[in-house]
Structure 1
Amino acid sequence: MITFPNAKINLGLNIVEKRPDGYHNLETIFYPINLQDALEVTRLEHSDNPYTLHVSGTVIDGEPEDNLVVKAYNLLKQDYPQMLAVDIHMYKHIPIGAGLGGGSADAAYMIKLLNEKFSLDISNEKMEEYAAQLGADCAFFIKNKPVFATGIGNIFEPIELSLKGYHIVLIKPDIFVSTKDAFSAIKPQHPAISLKEIAKQPIEAWKESMKNDFEDSVFLKYPEIAAIKDELYDLGAVYAAMSGSGSCVYGIFKEPIEHVEDKFCQCFCRQRELE
């Protein structure tokens, strides 16, 4: 049984306050996009191991037990011991550290895949509860529809928002942005206008009103990321921004851009139509 976990982008991101537990409350909009990994699960016959994991595509450092798809399997196994041993094959295409939620998507889709494969009859709401234990944004990928996210990125409110017909260009340079460093220069404040209201404006107005608070500190340290955003606007993007605190920058265009991968040949570069 195979499934295709997709990425997401953040439309704006406001850091609104620091919490007593050291985390930050924020507001952002998660929007699913058609950039996918592949995840396949088959039954593992005649094995003493509960699972095996095979990863191809982008290299993932760390031990198998630290991978979020394995953590998802172990989490469900605690409550559903009837689940059999599994052989997991994952092809990583969504870049790591990009702010696109690839790891969270893999974990959420693993939960949905196991639910279907072993007929566990887990509701969407219960699957969201499981996913939330694996990452703040992980539960988003259970229903996989645009949401206004608050809290630490774990409280979701459905919103009516469609970018269908637009095209997105994703550019990720070979730069790792530390989340800790990205937060270091942030001064939390409540925005004058909520992103939920800004998203109702025409997309052409977003450039002046929809901000990602991480850009100030990240662009100061990595001006090459800022240059990518500028170049996307030069190419005609109606809106461009970093996604989350990762190093990926996206541009939203009314029409596809010809030869865009040639323009950013030193970076991960993909163009997709939005749905």
Structure 2
Amino acid sequence: MLTFPNAKINIGLHITEKRADGFHNLESCFYPVGWSDALEIFPAEKLSFKSSGIEIPGNPETNLCLKAYHLVKQDFDIAPVMIHLHKAVPIGAGMGGGSADCAFTIKTLNELFALHLTTEVMENYARQLGSDCAFFIQNRPQYCFGKGDEFAEISLDLSGKFIVLVNPNIHISTAEAYSGVKPTKTGIDLREVLQKPINEWTGIVKNDFENHLLPKYPAIQAIKDQLYQNGAAYASMTGSGSTVFGIFDQAIDLKEHFAEYSLWQGKM
């Protein structure tokens, strides 16, 4: 069974407080985008995992896709599988690529073995694998809060818009990103603000990580500036970086402007 785990962007990302468990509470709108990996899973005589495309650091035996399989295997007597992940979404880029891979593994196992898992059960599996993994079970625009694994409805439909995502091949670890954050309450309701026209978001809908990461990495600031110069209605860094996205009213081709970087562009 072949699926295509897609990335997401954060439209607004506010770190509101540090939790007693060491994590941070946040609020954001998670929005799925088309930049995707390819994930193939089928029954096999022996459990195995292989990858292609972008090199995945670390021990393959601890890959999130395998962790997802073992999590489901604890509760269901499912057969061994062969998992092949072709990695195209940049790693450590603020787009949740690895989180999508493990969530899609859970959904694929559910379908492959007819487990009849509810959305809630699959989200609970995903929450055990990472803070934003559960989002990719429903994989639709959501207002996210808590650690990024609690969801509420949001009325935001950007279909018809065009998006350009640019990754400057800078890896920013979660620890580095959070080390410069000062949690604060925003005093605004993100869901209300996102009902305004997109060209009114600038200066209001912010990613808190930009405050310290853009001065540290001028290339990220330069990408954001260039997206605006080319007509973006709104541009921002997503997640904890380093990918920057621009939302446009019409299709635009910016490949030549960012030839040295990883880029994806398409309809939202």
Match of 1:188 in 2: 183
After superposition, the CA RMSD in angstroms is 1.0
Find the partner of 1:263 among 243, 257, 261: 257
1:201 partner letter: K
**Which SS does the other structure have where 1:75 is aligned?**
helix
Match of 2:157 in 1: 162
State the shift of 1:20 in Å.
1.8
Deviations 1:181-212 (A, max 9, x none): 22222221111212111111111111121000
Match of 2:99 in 1: 104
Match of 1:88 in 2: 83
Is 1:53 the counterpart of 2:49 in the alignment?
yes
Output the CA distance in 1 between the equivalents of 2:192 and 2:155: 11
1:203 partner letter: I
Match of 2:242 in 1: 247
Would the aligned equivalents of 2:91 and 2:171 in 1 still touch at CA under 8 Å?
no
Output the CA distance in 2 between the equivalents of 1:216 and 1:266: 25
Is 1:28 the counterpart of 2:25 in the alignment?
no
Find the partner of 2:211 among 212, 216, 224: 216
Would the aligned equivalents of 1:177 and 1:218 in 2 still touch at CA under 8 Å?
no
Alignment of 1:31-42 (within 5 A): 31-42=31-42
Output the CA distance in 2 between the equivalents of 1:224 and 1:85: 45
Deviations 1:46-92 (A, max 9, x none): xxx4x1111011110111221110000000001002x1111111111
Alignment of 1:55-204 (within 5 A): 55-81=51-77, 83-204=78-199
Output the CA distance in 1 between the equivalents of 2:186 and 2:28: 11
Q: Percent identity between the aligned chains?
A: 51
Give the structure-2-normalised TM-score. Answer: 0.98
1:53 partner letter: F
State the shift of 1:215 in Å.
0.2
Runs of 4 or more, structure 1, over 2 Å off, are none
State the shift of 1:178 in Å.
2.4
1:266 partner letter: E
Judge which range, 58-67 or 99-108, deviates more.
Answer: 58-67
State the shift of 1:235 in Å.
0.5
1:23 partner letter: F
Match of 1:8 in 2: 8
Output the CA distance in 1 between the equivalents of 2:100 and 2:180: 28
Match of 2:266 in 1: 272
1:73 partner letter: Y
Output the CA distance in 1 between the equivalents of 2:22 and 2:65: 27
1:251 partner letter: G
Find the partner of 2:200 among 199, 205, 210: 205
Output the CA distance in 2 between the equivalents of 1:189 and 1:150: 14
State the shift of 1:93 in Å.
1.0
Q: Can you give the 5+ residue segments of structure 2 that lack an aligned partner in the other structure?
A: none
State the shift of 1:38 in Å.
0.8
**Which SS does the other structure have where 2:41 is aligned?**
strand
Would the aligned equivalents of 1:145 and 1:158 in 2 still touch at CA under 8 Å?
no
**Which SS does the other structure have where 1:207 is aligned?**
coil
